[in-house]
Structure 1
Amino acid sequence: MSDKLNQNSSEKKPFSGMLYQLKVSLFVNKLTNWYFSKATLPYWCIMVLDSIAIVVAGMIATYIAGGGELIASHFWNYLLTFICSLPLFVVGMRIFHTYSGIMRYSSFVDLLRISGALVVGFILNSILLMVVPDSIRCELTTEAIVVMLFISMIEMWTMRILVKYMYDSSFSAETKTPVFILGVREGGISLAKSMRNDHPSQYVVKGFSTEEAAVVGRFLLGCEVYSYDETLIGVMHKMNVKTLFVSPLVTEKFLEKQDMIDKLTAEGIKIMMMPKALSWDGKSNLRYQMMHEVDIEDLLPRDKIEVDMKAIGKLLCGRTILITGAAGSIGSEMVKQIAIYKPQRLILVDEAETPMHDVRLFMNKNYADLPCETIVTSITNATRMERIFSEYHPDYVFHAAAYKHVPMMEDNPSEAVQNNIYGTRVIADMAVKYGTKKFVMISTDKAVNPTNVMGCSKRICEIYCQALNKAIVDGEVKGVTQFVTTRFGNVLGSNGSVIPIFKKQIAMGGPITVTHPDIIRFFMLIPEACKLVLEAGTMGKGGEIFVFDMGKPVRIADLAKRMIALSGVDGIDIKYVGLRDGEKLFEEVLNDKEATVPTHHPKIMVAKVREYPYELARKNEEDLYQLSFTYDDMAIVKKMKEIVPEYKSQHSKYSELDAK
Structure 2
Amino acid sequence: MMGETKKDRIQLLVRRFFLFLTDTFLLNACVYLSLIMRFDVGIVSIEPQYINNYVDNMLFYTIISLLIFWVFRLYHSLWQYASIAEVYRIAEACITVEVVHFLSNKMVGNMLPRSCYFNAAIYLIIAICASRFMYRMIRTVLNKYRNIKTSNNVMIIGAGEATNVIMREIQNSSYLANSNIACIIDDDRRKVGKYIRGVKVIGTRDKIKEAAKLYDIDEIIFAIPSASNEVKRDILNICKETDCTLKILPGVYQMVDGEINVNSIRNVDVLDLLGRDPIEVDIESIMGYVKDKVIMVTGGGGSIGSELCRQLVSHKPKQLIIFDIYENNAYDIQQELKINYPDANVVTLIGSIRNVSRLESVFAQYKPDIVYHAAAHKHVPLMEVSPDEAVKNNVVGTWNVARMADKYGVKKFVMISTDKAVNPTNVMGATKRICEMIVQTYNGISKTDFVAVRFGNVLGSNGSVIPLFKRQIEAGGPVTVTDPNIIRYFMTIPEAVSLVLQAGAYAKGGEIFILDMGEPVKIDDLAKNLIRLSGYTLGVDMEIKYTGLRPGEKLYEELLMKEEGLQETDNKLIHIGKPIEFDKENFFNNLEKLKEEAYSETGNIRESLKKVVVTYHPDEH
Same fold (TM over 0.5): yes
Superposition pairs of residues 138-153 of structure 1, within 5 angstroms: 140-153=112-125
- Which of 152, 155, 161 in structure 1 is aligned with 2:133? 161
Given that 1:273 and 1:291 are in contact with CA atoms closer than 8 Å, whether structure 2 keeps it comes out as yes
Q: Report the counterpart of residue 465 of structure 2 in structure 1.
A: 498
Given that 1:194 and 1:286 are in contact with CA atoms closer than 8 Å, whether structure 2 keeps it comes out as no
Q: Report the counterpart of residue 45 of structure 1 in structure 2.
A: 18
Q: 1:318 to 1:555 in 2, by over 3 A?
A: same
- Which of 593, 601, 605 in structure 2 is aligned with 1:623? 593
Q: Report the counterpart of residue 257 of structure 1 in structure 2.
A: 234
Higher Cα Rg: structure 1 or 2?
1
- Which of 495, 512, 519 in structure 2 is aligned with 1:552? 519
- The amino acid of 1:506's aligned partner reads I
SS of alignment partner, residue 600 of structure 2: coil
Q: Using the alignment, how far apart are the partners of 1:189 and 1:171 within structure 2?
A: 17
- Which of 485, 488, 494 in structure 2 is aligned with 1:518? 485
1:206-235 per-position Cα deviation (integer Å, ceiling 9, x unaligned): 543210011111012333223232533454
Q: 1:144 to 1:192 in 2, by over 3 A?
A: same
Q: Report the counterpart of residue 223 of structure 2 in structure 1.
A: 246
Given that 2:209 and 2:238 are in contact with CA atoms closer than 8 Å, whether structure 1 keeps it comes out as no
Given that 2:460 and 2:493 are in contact with CA atoms closer than 8 Å, whether structure 1 keeps it comes out as yes
Superposition pairs of residues 318-397 of structure 1, within 5 angstroms: 318-397=292-371
Q: 1:514 to 1:382 in 2, by over 3 A?
A: same
SS of alignment partner, residue 617 of structure 2: coil
Q: 1:168 to 1:193 in 2, by over 3 A?
A: closer
Q: Using the alignment, how far apart are the partners of 2:128 and 2:164 within structure 1?
A: 27
Q: What value does the CA root-mean-square deviation take over the aligned residues? A: 2.7
Q: 1:241 to 1:38 in 2, by over 3 A?
A: farther
Q: Report the counterpart of residue 613 of structure 2 in structure 1.
A: 644
- Which of 124, 145, 160 in structure 2 is aligned with 1:185? 160
How big is the shift at 1:47? 2.9
Given that 1:36 and 1:171 are in contact with CA atoms closer than 8 Å, whether structure 2 keeps it comes out as no
1:313-372 per-position Cα deviation (integer Å, ceiling 9, x unaligned): 232122111101111111111111112122221111111122222223223332333222
Given that 2:353 and 2:401 are in contact with CA atoms closer than 8 Å, whether structure 1 keeps it comes out as yes
Given that 2:307 and 2:493 are in contact with CA atoms closer than 8 Å, whether structure 1 keeps it comes out as yes
Q: Report the counterpart of residue 529 of structure 2 in structure 1.
A: 562
1:521-555 per-position Cα deviation (integer Å, ceiling 9, x unaligned): 11101011111110111211111100011122111
- Which of 148, 162, 185 in structure 2 is aligned with 1:209? 185
Q: Using the alignment, how far apart are the partners of 1:81 and 1:71 within structure 2?
A: 17
- The amino acid of 1:78's aligned partner reads Y
Given that 1:301 and 1:552 are in contact with CA atoms closer than 8 Å, whether structure 2 keeps it comes out as no
Q: Using the alignment, how far apart are the partners of 1:525 and 1:55 within structure 2?
A: 66
- The amino acid of 1:601's aligned partner reads N
- The amino acid of 1:280's aligned partner reads Y
Whether 2:32 is the aligned partner of 1:56: answer no
Q: 1:333 to 1:426 in 2, by over 3 A?
A: same
- The amino acid of 1:49's aligned partner reads T
Given that 2:143 and 2:171 are in contact with CA atoms closer than 8 Å, whether structure 1 keeps it comes out as no
Whether 2:606 is the aligned partner of 1:606: answer no
Whether 2:208 is the aligned partner of 1:232: answer yes
Q: Report the counterpart of residue 54 of structure 2 in structure 1.
A: 78
- Which of 76, 92, 95 in structure 2 is aligned with 1:119? 95
Given that 1:96 and 1:117 are in contact with CA atoms closer than 8 Å, whether structure 2 keeps it comes out as yes
- Which of 411, 417, 420 in structure 1 is aligned with 2:391? 417
Superposition pairs of residues 23-42 of structure 1, within 5 angstroms: 38=11, 41-42=14-15
- Which of 377, 382, 387 in structure 2 is aligned with 1:408? 382
How big is the shift at 1:502? 0.5
- The amino acid of 1:432's aligned partner reads D
Given that 1:180 and 1:206 are in contact with CA atoms closer than 8 Å, whether structure 2 keeps it comes out as yes
- Which of 287, 293, 296 in structure 1 is aligned with 2:260? 287
Whether 2:430 is the aligned partner of 1:463: answer no
- The amino acid of 1:51's aligned partner reads T
SS of alignment partner, residue 253 of structure 2: coil
Q: Using the alignment, how far apart are the partners of 1:182 and 1:423 within structure 2?
A: 51
Q: Using the alignment, how far apart are the partners of 1:104 and 1:283 within structure 2?
A: 24
Q: 1:180 to 1:445 in 2, by over 3 A?
A: same
- The amino acid of 2:383's aligned partner reads M
Given that 1:468 and 1:614 are in contact with CA atoms closer than 8 Å, whether structure 2 keeps it comes out as no
SS of alignment partner, residue 601 of structure 2: coil
- The amino acid of 2:221's aligned partner reads L
1:563-612 per-position Cα deviation (integer Å, ceiling 9, x unaligned): 11111135110011100001110111111222100000011000012133
Q: 1:531 to 1:50 in 2, by over 3 A?
A: same
How big is the shift at 1:124? 1.8
Given that 2:416 and 2:452 are in contact with CA atoms closer than 8 Å, whether structure 1 keeps it comes out as yes
> Any unmatched runs of 5+ in structure 2?
1-6
SS of alignment partner, residue 585 of structure 2: helix
SS of alignment partner, residue 436 of structure 1: coil
Q: 1:83 to 1:39 in 2, by over 3 A?
A: closer
1:593-647 per-position Cα deviation (integer Å, ceiling 9, x unaligned): 22100000011000012133543322221121112123233x3211211222111
Given that 1:599 and 1:606 are in contact with CA atoms closer than 8 Å, whether structure 2 keeps it comes out as yes
How big is the shift at 1:264? 3.1
Select between 264-273 and 339-348 the one with higher mean Cα deviation. 264-273
Q: Report the counterpart of residue 578 of structure 1 in structure 2.
A: 548
Whether 2:488 is the aligned partner of 1:488: answer no
SS of alignment partner, residue 487 of structure 1: strand
Given that 1:547 and 1:605 are in contact with CA atoms closer than 8 Å, whether structure 2 keeps it comes out as yes
1:122-144 per-position Cα deviation (integer Å, ceiling 9, x unaligned): 222233344343xx33xx22211
1:109-129 per-position Cα deviation (integer Å, ceiling 9, x unaligned): 222111110111122223334
Q: What is the number of residues matched between the two proteins?
A: 603
Q: Using the alignment, how far apart are the partners of 2:239 and 2:299 within structure 1?
A: 41
SS of alignment partner, residue 647 of structure 1: coil
- The amino acid of 1:215's aligned partner reads K
Q: Report the counterpart of residue 530 of structure 1 in structure 2.
A: 497
Q: Using the alignment, how far apart are the partners of 1:580 and 1:250 within structure 2?
A: 38
Q: Using the alignment, how far apart are the partners of 1:211 and 1:40 within structure 2?
A: 47
Q: Using the alignment, how far apart are the partners of 1:174 and 1:603 within structure 2?
A: 53
How big is the shift at 1:428? 0.6
> Any unmatched runs of 5+ in structure 1?
1-33, 473-479, 653-660
Q: Report the counterpart of residue 10 of structure 1 in structure 2.
A: none
Q: 1:317 to 1:41 in 2, by over 3 A?
A: farther
